Structures are given as C-alpha cells and as structure tokens.
Structure 1
C-alpha cells in the first residue's frame, strides 16, 4: 500500500509533512495530465474506429453488388451472402466495442476527474490562504512588546484562532488528498478492466460467429479447389489453342467448316469493290451460309445478303486487274469483284463458292467440294509462285542468322519465333507475352513468321542481336548474383527477370561517372555522337543507360540524335532511333529537322525512310526553305523526284476526298518501294549526283507518269 498523509504530522505542520504534501500535490498534477492524455487518445481511437466502420460498410456494399453480378451461380451467391451477413455482424460488434470503450475509459475517468479534482483545487486555495494568515499572525504575536499587556493578549488570541482554523483546513485538505489517492486506483483499474472486458466480449462474439460460418467456409474451400482444377484445365486448353492459331502462316488460314449443316461454310475478310467508284475498295467480313453470300461492313452493322441464291451465280478469277488475288462473282442481275489477302485465301474462296453452288444443285452434302484446294505455301515478303517450300520463312531465317539469335534472349529457348523491333532481340512465345505486358514504349514485339518485316528492321536484328544486347543489359548480372532463367523456368521467374532487365535496368553497367544528371547528359551526348557516326552498339548502350531519344544537344544547335543520324547518313541508325520513339519532326534552333538534314546531305535512303515514318515535307527552316527547296538547290535528282512525287501523291489523295481510292497512288508506291529497296540492299546506286540532261529527263518522265495518272483521275471524276 502507498503511504498516505499522516494527520498527526499535519497538525504539527512539520517539515516532513510539508515534503509529503508537495509530493502528493505533484503526483496529483501528473496524474491529471496523464488522465487527460488517455481520454483524448481514447476519443481519437473511437473516431478512427467509427471511420473504419463506415469504410467497412462501404466495402460490404461493394461486395453485395459484386455478388449480384454472380447471381447466375447460386453457389457463389449463397456463399457471398452468408459471408456478407457475417461481416455485417462483425461491423455491429465493432460499433458496440467502440461504445463500450468510450464508456469504460472516458466516462469513468471523467467522473474521477470531475468528482475530486475541482474540490481539491478549491480546498488547496483555502489551505494556502489560511497558511499565509497563520504566518502573519505568528509574526505579529512575536513583535508585540511585553509591556503592552492588552496588545499581547489580542495577538495571542488571534494566533490561537488562526492556528485552529489552519489545522481545520489542513486536515480537510489531507483527507481529500488521501481519499483521492485511494479512489483513483479503484477508478483507473475499473476503467481498464471494463475496456478489457469489452475487448474480450468482442473477440468472443467474433469467434462464435466465424465458428458458425466454418461449415460454409469448408464447402466453399472444396468448391474453390474444384473450380481451380477446372480453370487450370481450361487455361491449358486455351493456351494450346492459342499456340495453334499463333503458328499459322502470315496470310492466315481460311476458316472452312467441313460439316456446314446450317453453319457458315467459310468466313473471313475480303476487299469488296464499290459499284459506283471502281477504284474504291472496302474491307468487309464475308461468309457463305444457306446458299447465300453474306457480308458485314463493320461489327456494329447487321449482315447484308449480297447474293441470295448462289445457284444463279458464276465465279471466276480476275487475272487482268492490277490488284492481286481478285475474283468475281456474277449473277443475272449484278456482279461483284472481291479481293483476298493472298493466293491461298483466294483459292479457298473460289473452291468454297464453287462447292456451295454444286452442293445447291445436287441437294446433298459433298464435303470434298467445300474443302479448299491445297495452295502452294506462301513466304512472307517473297514470291507467291508454286514451288517447294523453304525450310523457314525468309524473315525468320535472316533474323536467326544474327549473333545469338538462335536462342531466346531472356530464357535461352531454341528457335525463337518472336522479336522486339526496338530492342533488336529475338525471343520465345512466353517471353514475348511478358514483353508485350511491358508496353510498346519499352518493347515492340512482332512475329517473325506472321508479321511483315522491312529490310531495315531485319538488318537491326542482324547487326545488334541477342549477344550484343545481352552484353549491355546483362553486363552486371554476375555482380548482382542473379541466375538467368531457363526455358523450363516458371513464368513468374521469367517475368521478374525481364522486368529487372529492361524496366529497372538493374544489370546495366554505367560507362560514365558523376551524379544522375551528369550521367544522363553524358549518355545523351554519346547517343548523338554514335548516331552521327552510325555506331549502333554505342547507341543501344546509351539508350539503355537512360539517354533520352528526343533529347537535344545544346552544343549542336539543339539537334536531336535523329538529326545527327540523318546528317551522318546511317540508315540503320535512323531506323533504330525511330523504333525507339524518336520524334521524326523535331527541329533544331535553325528550324531544320531530320528531313532537312538528309536532303542537305543528299542521303536518299534517309529521305525515303523519313517520309515513310511521317516526316513533314512542308516544314521550312529559318531561311524559309523546305526539304524540296533544299534538294533543288543541292541539285540531287533522286531526292527532288522523291519529294515531288510524295507531294503530288498527297495532293491527289486529298483531291479524292473521303470517298476516294484507299491508300496512295500505285505508281508512287512502286517508285517509293524501289527507292526503299535500293537504299536497303544497294545504297551505292543512290550516290549523290548532279542534275544532268539525262537526270532531268528521268525526273520529267517520272513526274509525267504521275501527272498523266492525275489527269486520268480528274477526267474520271
């Protein structure tokens, strides 16, 4: 037991009593401060708990709405409803817990403070006042002369009365302090006990509640296990189907149904020529069903019957047209020209149409007639004439000839079929899916067998490739203690590796020192210098180290790396920067962009590439000159021809309006393709030359062809 104030010592008013009194008063003051702090913290806890309950209530409302989404599945709905009810009970228990906490802590401690502390303060003030009066009375009594009997008697009586009053207040004050000392322990312990009991009740109710939900949880666990197994089987089946579809040829396999009974015999996309404007072709979805040819212009429109009865139609191939893979369907009332994407699809449609016509006449199912004839295999970007198929498509063969490209760059799987254009690496199908999830700003994934590839893109894969890029992106792998995934590694491990390698760039070893800002500026300068000299490996390293592909170099009049590559004349450097997000229309402080620089330097291949990538040929520099004016001034016949024909093609396309022919003029496309192929395969033929009579005639001949085609368009309108 703690020592209390002694009443005997209080009457004596001894120094020991005064020391004990000071200690008691300081303890009361300290206890009052702590009680006030506990009550404030309790209020904050209760407010936070109420906010938590409100958020919990909103969460349960969201769960209830989610359960209504699964209303078709009674098992899930019943389980969700039971869980929702149980969680609602938990919220109610929480509410009761906070109410009991507030009563247990705040109410009881507040009663303790309001019952004793104000009275103690008032009694102390009286005690101090009477003590001061006693001191004054004692001093006066001591100062009275012994020769003044009446004054001495009055002083003695005053001292005696004051001392009795002081003793009365002192004893009363001590009693109140002792009572508070005793009572505060009971009230504090009672308050804490009530709080603990409320917590005990809350958790006991929660235990009982979830014990009642235990059978439902076991049932749900069994259903989850079954659903997981079924989901795994379905996912595996979908992955197998995905792989089968992914491995189809680039031209696409025709969707032919061998047992058509009331279903589509064949379906797919075809180009349909407009009957009003013969040069207008629109891509539509066609299908053959119930002896009718049906098509849809878009997924938002209803299907339209093009030919109601195929028995009244004849089908033939169109060999005299300039467009490839065309065939025609004729009836008594109308005819319609259609175009497939490849010779294989064309033959499939011809066979399906003829088979459907024969089937309608004979009124019996003949599956053989509805099967497409086996067409000669096609090669991506090659000749479609019949012949023995090569071992692999040319794009795949060229890509795999690069250093280290025969294995996936990230897991080492043999014979990869996918590649990243901007990273210039090859990869397996699983790693390609992870690369796609990174976003096209980090990796642009394309198929080496299903997509078309340009010569510059394939050259990047050969010049850089897996070995070169892995030396950059995996340089510090051993220092980090990381082990590269294998082909049989889990997908999660491959995903973590690819993110660390390309997103976090964790294994790249910096070639410059200094702060982050200095490192970034240094990488940007190295990128510009490497682009100007056409050093692809240094460019790839600079980009990997954080150089901004569109960063400007102040020392070079605000030029970007793409402008430097156009000046230097490296076609692959331009393509590499463009694939990594370079702005084709950025201009330096003199108003000159990459197209201005290529025209000034006489690099025809760069001009052709930049035009294909959307460079603005009408932009003028500080002297008011556009790229065409620069090419005329430098007397470069090929660039002048290319820019003039590109400009004429845009004018012709604009004059056709929204109902004009789709795409660019065919003559322009042919010449443009010739320039592009020559720049990639035989750049020496595009060496800079001066205007001569022969060059002028050549340029005039090309322009004359375009002008004649333009006049034919105008006359047809």
Structure 2
C-alpha cells in the first residue's frame, strides 16, 4: 500500500519512480512503528498524570482540608465547653431573677386590679365625691373617745343586693374585728395600719373604711355615734402606728416575743386548730413543729413516744417558742393536714374522741403517722411534680409526697445548678421571705441535710454560696453537719468567707463554737390579720343558701 501511494504521488508530479526495494520498505515500516510507540508512550504518560491528579493528589489535598476543619472544630469545642460552664452558672441566677420579677409583676398587677376595683366601686356608690380610695390627709380623731370600742354597726354587703347587715364590731390594739353572719365562722380582722377612714359627705351617719382590697361602708345609729366610731378608729390607728415606730427605734427581744405571740394567736384561729388534730378535743395547746398541727396533751404524749423523727412536740403556753418553730403551723393547719392524712379514713368511729382511752388513741395515731394508713393516694407518682411544688411554694404537694412515703432525699431529674441536687437544694436556691416554710418542711422531714451534689455541695454550701442566712438558720437549728467538704475541699464556712457573706459566716462560727441558739427567729412574711379577708359576708350568705 505504501508503495502504491508513492507511485501515485510521483505520477501526479510527473516523476517516474523506480521499483522500491524490500530494505526501504522495512526501514519505512520500522520508522512508522517507532513513531507509533512514541505517541503511545506520550498518551500513557498523560493518562497516568490524569489518574494521579484524580487519585493521590486529590486525597492528599482532601486530608489537608479535613485536618484544618478538625482543628477549627476542636477550637470551637473548647470554646463551647468554657461557654457551658458560664451558662450553667448563669442559668440559676437568671431563673431566680425571673421568678422574683414574675412574683413582683404578679403582686403589682393584683394590687393594680384591686385599686381599679375600689376606684370603680367608689365612683358608682358616690359619684359626687371625687376623692376615692386613700388620701394623703388622715382624719384626726377626738381623743376623748379613746382607742377601744365595742358595739353594733350596719355594714353594706358587697353583693348585687347591697343590703345593710347588722354586725358586732370591736376596735382594739389597732385592729377592727367584724363578726360574720354565721356564728361558727371566725370574725374578720382588719389591720387599721393598712386602712383609711373616710367620712361620707352625703350621709352624716355613714363612714367608709378603705382596706388594701376592699371598701367597707358602715352605718351608725346616729350622727354622734358615727363621730365616736370614726374617732376611735383614727385614735387606734394612731396608737398602733406609734407602737410600730417605738419598736423600730428600741426593738429587740420584747418585740420578737410580741411577734411570736401574735403568730400563735393567728395559728390558733386557723381552720381546724380549735380542736385537736387527732381526737378533736377543744383548745389544743401542743404543737408538732415538723408537721404544723395542734394536738391535746393526751395525744402529745403518744407523739413523744413515736420519736422526734416523726413528730417534734412543743407547748404553745409552757415553752418559749421562736418564730422559726411556727413556720409550718402558720401554713398547714389541722384541717389542711387531715385533708391529706385522713382522706381515706373509712369511718369516723375509728378516730378517737375526747373520752377515748390511751390504747385506742395510740392505735389510731400509729396507723395515721407511722403506717400512714388513711392518707390520700395519688394515681400518678408525685416525684416529677416536686420541683414545681417548690417553685410554686405548694406545701400541700410536699405533704402529699410525705404521706405517700416518697423519698424526698433523691436527686431531682432537672437540677438548676449542679447534678445531684435534691429538693432541699432547689428550695434553698429559690428561697425568699415568702417560702421559708417550704425549706423548713424539707429540712425537718426529707432527711437530706447531708446530701451532696456531684461537686460535693450540701444544702449548707448552697446557703453560703447564695447568701441565704435565713435558710442557714433552719439548717443549723436541725443540726446539719458543718464539717462536710465539697470536691474543692471547702466547708460551708470556707465558702461563706470566699463569697464574703458575713451573716452566713457569723452563724457558722457560732455553730462551730457551740454558741448557736436553736431558739432562733427568722425574717418571714407572716401576713398577720389577713386570713379572713378573702370572703365577704355576701359570699358566705350565698354559700349558706346554696
């Protein structure tokens, strides 16, 4: 073929080609073969280079990229770990702030609604009088009428009927006591320090008493009688105010004793407390401090036999009580306690009476307090709801858990600050002047004084790190161990010194030197004189009719 091509080419150019020898043909063939091999080598080299770029180089570059990414994410992880420590410390503080702000907002909104209601009522009842509610100028009473008075007044009801109801009223020691229409209902008690007396400009026989949540309208027999009542109210309020100022200037142990007696009087008047919690004997004078109930002297002897781990008994009249021992009594009452502990009592015949013998009493009390035989049973386990009960200051949910023998010393599922926190840790973290009774109930009944978190902190450590001296008093009163150290090797005293909380440090030093007085007073919102102000006589009349 090659030869034929050459001949054709020579013929085209007018050249006559001679015959080609076999050697020339072989040489041409060899040359063509080598050229083909060269092109093949170059092709294979190019293929190899392409494979290298697609394979090894690509993988090496990918590995370098992954290493860079790994270093970046490692740095992010380290930064996140530091951020986590910061947020763990910040979360409980933010939650505490939110709870306080929500509580303040709730109180302010409630007060706003109450004031709006009072203003609206005043405008409806007395449209001609532009001054409603409190004013800056207080009435001055005629001193000749004194500071105490007792008699009958007509009080206008709050309901739709607006009828006048005859009520016995007594003014004494800065309080106005108003009897209810139901004889067995405790009288309402108004603290005059939080009230204002207003004369009615349309009717000289009428006057108003404006409290924090309601306006009371009274009608006297005549104009002179109205002047007498208004003067006594103003004089009694002035006397109470002077007493408060004198106590503030020279207060001390006497004022604390007076406060204790005032609390005891409030406790005696709470629902069910006029009878023994176990046998219904009248006027019980013995208090179970850790349960918040009143019992008679016969039942108190059996309570003492059960042991202080079940019931700690003190006398309201013979023992010198401190306010710290009245926290639960002020918040539970006999009726509230029995609504849970006697909810499943099959028959009232099983409950002792005033005349029951000691053997019958003892059998019932052991069944009630040791075996918890008659306690209410909840269908769902209350463990998960306990943190919410602490946040909501719900003492009866805790009492329900106690009645069902729930282990209150177990760690909670969602701790606020450290893993391993118990309900008592949470109560200390969230404690304020209105929730000390929650802390006291858990201190006395949860058996978790020495429980430690994952970082080794006991409730004592929490008191010192968050500056909760009132909670610390309750823990020291219960003889909490002050020598326990956390993972950092610190006792509660060390934490108080490091955090510079002098009140906590002073209390722990007293306990360390055996100088701490368990008969200690606590700062708490007692809300004296306000229990019976939530229901009007009109509401009670409606209940009787229904």
TM-score (norm 1): 0.34
User: Which structure has the higher relative contact order (CA within 8 Å, separation 6+)?
Assistant: 2
